[in-house]
Structure 1
Amino acid sequence: MSPTMGTEAGTAGPGSAAELLLQRLELAGGSAEGGLCSLEAAAALGLDHQTLVGAVKSLQALGEVIEAEQRTSKKWELTPEGEEVVREGSHEVRVFNSIPLEGLAQSELMKLPCGKVGFSKAMSNKWIRLDKSTEGGPHVFRAVESVQDGVREKLLQLQQGDPNSLEEKDKSELKKRKLLTEVTVKTYWIRKGSAFSTTVTKQETDLTPEMIASGSWRDLKFKAYNFEALGIMPESGHLHPLMKVRSQFRQIFLEMGFSEMPTNNFIESSFWNFDALFQPQQHPARDQHDTFFLKDPAEATQFPMDYLKRVKRVHSQGGYGSQGYKYDWKLEEARKNVLRTHTTAVSARMLYQLAQQEKFTPAKYFSIDRVFRNETLDATHLAEFHQIEGVVADYGLTLGDLMGVLKEFFTKLGITQLRFKPAYNPYTEPSMEVFSYHQGLRKWVEVGNSGVFRPEMLLPMGLPEGVSVIAWGLSLERPTMIKYGINNIRELVGHKVNLQMVYDSPICRLDA
């Protein structure tokens, strides 16, 4: 930035604050200390002190024109209430003057703006007395013929610039009454510098080819280079759009009072991934074409056996008001280890732990983490994506509660146009798909799946009969695309692909 200073900054023109200060400093050159106090100089020049301070700092930026030493002092100033006392008198004097010779009801006295403080101070000064036996209630009477307003006189002395006439105890008392305040004043002691001049000369900031060619640079003054100045910070890395939206999702869940579930176990047994969710063992999702099965370790060995027996019974024989699936449930299938296909397996574990509590307490859980599907990799398909899941467990929850929570959740995300469509899930009934209108595609796009967990899933866990659990899940990638729009979709995927293919691909696919 050029050091040339405009009149508004008080540093240019024959009548600028900077030049007025330099001229004043020239006149004061023969004084005892050869300098000026900025406060006194501002008063002598008829300038606001802050304006003069701005001129001092501007002159300092020009090099050795002046030397300025900052000094700090304290002084006493009247508060707005103190200024009111100077104009109208102290509270106690006003109260005294308000009382007629025949006295005044205390209730009427207290209605005065200065009544409460003035009554207390006048009573302690013994200027008034209170008679509680008067007919009609307590009355206040004058106890002396006249009073002197010492408080106003002390404040007047301070206002007129004579603070040393008051004792420290008087100042402390006035400060305690909030009539006086001690302020810190920062001033500058200004002296001539080695390059002092009564005029402000523009300093050049750039050495141009023209200056070198003409030799004019020899007669010019250049602004000193500040080697201590910090340069512009270089651009650093940025969060990927997926990570930005993930952080936003997490913050929304926390604002809504949810607790985060532990999702660090990518490997689950088929029992927690499928059976505990009332998903039958002959379901197509258990096929190797849809799910990754582990070779080593191929099977899980640790299960809560009582719970496992109840799950087996509700699958094969029914129970809890359900006829079940009527098939031969096998432990060998339940023991197979898989890369989890959804984070709902984590929700099942958390709900089971909740059911083991001595007394049920309502809970709200969420998770955001990776899930895995056996897909052929190409420009629009991945073998893993991120699932977002929210679960609420409480007495008497209904589909209306689920819709209300979803509306609040998506509104916080910035998605306001929602539609709900009935759907089928093995472990929720009723179930709903959630759609949002996409301005870029000009069509409704599925953004989530939701429902109320079935009793066949909850009651074997040990949850009380009146407890309902509402839940919803969505892929992190799909709301990200809706939020960031069509232009950024291609950047997220990394290829120039057909947009509809992106939306129909497993990278955006919801938990089925």
Structure 2
Amino acid sequence: MKLPPQQVAVLEAASADEPRRIADLAAEIERPPETVTGAAFELEDAGLVDVVEETEEEVELTEEGREYAEDGLPEVRLYEAALDAGADDEPVSMGEVIGTSGLEGPQVDIALSNYARKGYGSIDSGDLAADPDADPSEDAEAAALETLAAGGAVEADDALDQLARRDLVAVTERTVRSVLLTEAGVTELMAGVESAEEVGQLTPDMLASGEWRDAEFADYNVEADAGEHTPGKTHVLRQASERVKEVLVGMGFQEMEGPHVDADFYINDCLFMPQDHPARNHWDRFALEQPEKIDELPEDLVERVERAHREGVGPDGDGYHSPWDEDFARALALRGHTTSLTARYLSGVAGEDVEPPARYFSVEKAYRNDTLDATHLLEFFQIEGWVMAEDLSVRDLMGTFREFYSQFGITDIEFKPTYNPYTEPSFELFGRHPETGELIEIGNSGIFRPEMLEPLGVEADVMAWGLALERLLMLVTGFEDIRDVHGTLCDLEFLRDAEVVY
């Protein structure tokens, strides 16, 4: 029996006793795995081998998982700090223990949420107690992290499931193919198999020399599956962004642009956000180290904004009676919202002479030091928009939203009153997720307050909003986790296959 060389090599390397993996065969006969796979399927068509497919799980540590494998799980570090503070004898102030544990930011919440769950102790009224009988060396999650970090394998169990839920490991499935000789394959090997030199492709040289007349060409299997082709495509977020721009331009809006790094003055102070507001501390913002502050601010604008903060606006204005410091306002940071662009345009700093009626929008990134979860990332796209006109009302604002979202097939929208320092009245928007049926927040909006508009030199009404592009996409496509569309754990299969259809 004559077969192509690669098929002969695979047939001779295969076993009739136990399946041999494609990867092992490829290494042994020194041919690419894809060549061996093709030869194996051709031999299977001839009845000489069986191709066995199995699904295996691969477990890999995420960046956060690698960090905890090296430094220890937050709850374990909290327990060890609690023991050092004597919390196994009597409860100790939670703040004291956290301070000595070295935990920072989101790690504190993670440690507190898992501390009692794992039986390390209890937390009551700000005091923390440690169970002296708890043993971190028996922590199954910590042991699994150490094993994975050392290159070992961990079998599926409750600990692995918990690590996956905490996004400390990424579990993926892959198909493993193996080859097993059939009785017919053994018979042909015993009878003798010869290598037939076949030509797989007709070349110009063969035509010119006439060599093609004596060549034996390999059969071409027109029924064979084609290789998977994953060409580049426009990211689903970019598709959604472009569609949003088309809709808003069609509604008469002009696009804004401006810096991603800006002074706190434009990000917060111009929005009548008090300087002692909790959202303006270092936990919630990404401050710049170099350069640390903006060089110039318009003196007259700074004076008017400071006066609004200290004294308020109008005969009934009262201001905040809280500290206001220009040096603090000059600090540079990644913008926490794209409303900084709105402040620049309304004040004229952006170089636009805005007069009512006017409509502007942007679809740009904003940055916040949030805790990562299914609906929050450290950076996200915000659909910023505002309308300047006389005698605007909440009905105008709601009507704008209904018109905008209807362009995406979304009609089930709910509104909830809320508080913003820079708008009054204010309300949040909620849309119903098509898969889970849950209401998810999709934006925030309101009518800008006089305390914001008067210092900027605006005499008309301005209604404004900040909508989440990723959550709009959730309502359109049905995906449930924002990390599926961008970030280090994005779902490549979803990105390749998802269609943004309106």
TM-score with structure 2 length normalisation? 0.49
Larger Rg: 1
TM-score with structure 1 length normalisation? 0.48
